[in-house]
Structure 1
Amino acid sequence: MILHTLIDYEILRVIWWLLLGVLLIGFAVMDGFDLGVATLLPFVGRDDTERRVVINTIGPVWEGNQVWLILGGGAIFAAWPPLYAVSFSGFYLAMFAILFALILRPVGFKYRSKRESATWRTAWDWALFVGGLVPALVMGVAVGNVLQGVPFHFADDLRIFYDGTTLFELLNPYGLLAGILSVSMLAMHGAGWLTLKTSGNVNARARRIGMVAAILTIVLFAVGGFWLTMIDGYRFTSEIVPAGPSNPLYKTVEVASGVWFQNYATYPWMMIAPALGFLGALGSLLAFAAKKDGAPWLFSSVSILGIISTVGLSMFPFILPSNVDPRSSLTVWDASSSHMTLFIMLVCAVIFVPIIIAYTSFVYKVLWGKVDAKDINDPANHAY
């Protein structure tokens, strides 16, 4: 098979870097509002009926939305094996915390209404809250630590050693800032979804909380960007070989302050990403204030796109820097699978991603409309 030679290796590497970003953004946009709604559940729903309304805005779609998480994990495994090995082993405890929290969501949906007891249902409501808050927080903390560098190194035979200690070392000030930004961003997104899918008191409370979350997103994104100017970044000091072998030890890297902003000076068009992060959150804030339905969710999606893109563009070509051995840092040019593997995966992505998008669009079209108390109290609707 020689078709893969039609696309250069370095181009395939960039394509899969872009696709990884698309899948992560897709997860944050599609499953992010599920996490945001779950985080807001105890606060926007004051009684059992209102909370059931909130749950039923995401109950029929959350499983389909998690396809983006599976696709993202699969893409990392197949396209960037060293990244998968380091992140999923080094962040093992953090991953376990995320998975435990995510497991609470389906269990909460299924068991919450099995008993009429108010205590029983309240306990599961808080379990759903944990299932939304913890993944949003921990994922943000992880991104904050990636920007600072992760403690790992490669031996000469490319064995990977993680030099970190416990989960708590991830909870450093900048990591926590990134985590809180993630929570506020997804809370804004979840509030936008609730304004689209609910009415009455739930809608009004979601708007008020959404405005606060949008303001926090703007402020924390600005603070995080300013703080990043004082955090050391990473850059090549050896020749860059975009089509070189996937061996991180073939390069030399230095650590210097302000490096994460060099790409914006070299490629000014990249400023579009942080601009979208700010403008999307501002648009969401104004849409909440104007009592628009749907617009806050669209604007928050733009903000998510901008914020996540800002991280990727700031670090490019680095995808996982090492703060104990900069030479071991993983980059787009030395951490990918083979040329053939990337090509075969690209063919699969071209076939299956449009199918997933088409299926998802169909489901949302069928389930379009607001959820109210009448819907959930109708036995024919099989509501949660």
Structure 2
Amino acid sequence: MTQLPLDYETLRLVWWLLLGVLLIGFAVMDGFDLGIGALLPFAARTDEERRTLINLVGPTWEGNQVWLILGGGAIFAAWPALYAVSFSGFYLAMITILLALILRPVGFKFRGKIADPRWRAVWDWALFIGGFVPALIFGVAVGNVLLGVPFGLDGTLRPFYTGSFFGLLRPFALLSGLISVAMLVAHGAAVIALRTEGAVAERAATYGRLAAMAAFVLFALAGLWVAFLLPGYVVTSAQDAFGPSNPLSKTVTLADGGWLSNYAAHPWMIAAPVLGLGGSILATLTIGRAGLLALASTTLAITGIIATAGLSLFPFLLPSSLNPSVSLTVWDASSSHMTLFIMLVSTVIFLPLILAYTTWVYRVMRGPVTPASIGRNPNAY
């Protein structure tokens, strides 16, 4: 057998970290697109203002969405069991997200085809749906992971799911969805305030500060809910971090305060929720007042909130409420040792290229977006 430079345990941990990086990258890079879409009918009230916001995200949204594709690809290749359960169990939710996301490019292309206020208003609301619905459902999905998902595995490790689409809309999951919407709306507002001028920037800043405060309050409420009302999953048998992936080889129980056990064992992890809360407060104070600092604040808030969920769950990837012992963990749901290593080599080569290209694009597209700049651009929406 070929001796690889990194052992199986290390590669599994590296890919868990990389999955978190990709999810945070998507939330930061495409999150402001979703947030701007959700703000479009409210922050911009005239056709000129709405064209300004559309042209703010129009040139870069496709590149930003690469992070979503990377995240889905990483789950498919590194965590095939997670992909099989989540993408089949959450099938209707995924379809809803995809249909909402499809409205974005369609809205960009068709909105300006007819100079009729009613026609354009329809597409403005379609762009709102394309921003609001994915932001909400992504958060609802994270909430359901913390609650546990009703799936099981048969003797051949084939997954089966017993839930329904409306079963996902539980109170804690909806709270998680609102946190997602609030943090992305604040992020989008920070970008609008940074790169536009006049009334639209002022209105966006007002909405952004309210959204950032809402993210703070809702995230704190979710933390109290997890601490005092939401049982968490705990592995009660030793897991072989070097062994083959077999979710049936462990036992898991549901315990009060289970999601807090990682923080008790590793106090440094408290930095993640502190970052989420602190970033939200700083964003409340800076959106519309300190452009780059506000954008950094919303980025820190997003990073802290997502990291809090990931660190609370570790080592779980997808707990099972139907049979806790078949829950998927970092140590029993990964691809083979060789597959993870080959993927890591590919990531080390291509991820820096993606980052370099993204940096170059944003450097080229830097500067304010105004009606005057749109008028000079023959390719503007």
Q: TM-score, normalised by structure 2?
A: 0.98
Deviates more, 1:55-64 or 1:236-245: 236-245
Partner of 2:220: 222
Q: 1:1-384 to 2 correspondence within 5 Å?
A: 2=2, 5-164=4-163, 166-229=164-227, 230-288=229-287, 291-378=289-376, 380-384=377-381
Q: Distance in 2 between the 1:381 and 1:279 partners? A: 42
Shift of 1:377: 2.2
Deviations 1:69-89 (A, max 9, x none): 000000000000000000000
- Aligned counterparts of 1:151 and 1:106: Cα–Cα separation in 2: 34
- Alpha-carbon distance, 1:285 to partner: 0.9
The one-letter code sitting in structure 2 at the alignment partner of 1:94 is A
Structure 1 residues 1-27: Cα deviation after superposition (integer angstroms, max 9, x where no partner) = 835x21010000000000000000000
RMSD: 0.9
Question: Structure 2 counterpart of 1:382, which letter?
Answer: N
Deviation at 1:239, TM superposition (A): 1.2
Deviations 1:145-188 (A, max 9, x none): 00000000001111111011x21111110011000111001000
Contact 1:195/1:294 (<8 A) preserved? no
CA distance in 2, matches of 1:248, 1:2: 25
- How far apart, CA to CA, are the structure 2 residues paired with 1:169 and 1:100? 20
Amino acid at match of 1:332: V
Percent identity of equivalent pairs = 59
Amino acid at match of 1:287: T
Corresponding letter in the other structure for 2:5 = L
Alpha-carbon distance in structure 2 between the residues aligned to 1:305 and 1:288? 17
Give the Å deviation of 1:294. 2.3
Task: Give the Cα–Cα distance (whole angstroms) in 2 for the partners of residues 308 and 235 of structure 1.
Answer: 20
| C-alpha distance in 2 between matches for 1:185 and 1:293 | 17
- Deviation of the 1:298 alpha carbon: 1.2
Give the length in aligned residue pairs.
380
Paired amino acid for 1:340:
M
Counterpart AA for 2:196: T
The CA deviation at 1:108 is 0.3
C-alpha distance in 1 between matches for 2:14 and 2:184: 27
Task: Measure the CA separation in 1 of the matches of 2:47 and 2:14.
Answer: 47
Task: Give the TM-score, by structure 1 length.
Answer: 0.98
Q: Aligned with 2:155: secondary structure?
A: coil
Q: C-alpha deviations, 1:34-75, integer Å up to 9, x for none?
A: 000000000011100000001111100000000000000000
Shift of 1:283: 1.0
Please identify runs of 4+ aligned residues in structure 1 that moved more than 4 A: none
Structure 1 CA distance for aligned equivalents of residues 246 and 267 of structure 2: 31
Tell me how far apart the structure 1 counterparts of residues 94 and 125 of structure 2 sit (CA, whole Å). 21
SS at match of 1:235: strand
In 2, the alpha carbon distance for the partners of 1:256 and 1:226 equals 16
Q: Distance in 2 between matches of 1:156 and 1:2?
A: 31
Change (3 A) 1:370 1:381: farther
How far the C-alpha of 1:381 sits from its partner, in A, is 3.9
CA distance in 2 between partners of 1:293 and 1:315 (Å):
34
TM-superposed deviation, 1:232: 1.3
| Residue segments in structure 2 that go unaligned for 5+ positions in a row | none
1: CA distance, partners of 2:375 / 2:41: 20
Which deviations, in whole Å up to 9, do the C-alpha atoms of 1:181-205 show, x marking residues without a partner? Answer: 1100100000001011101001100
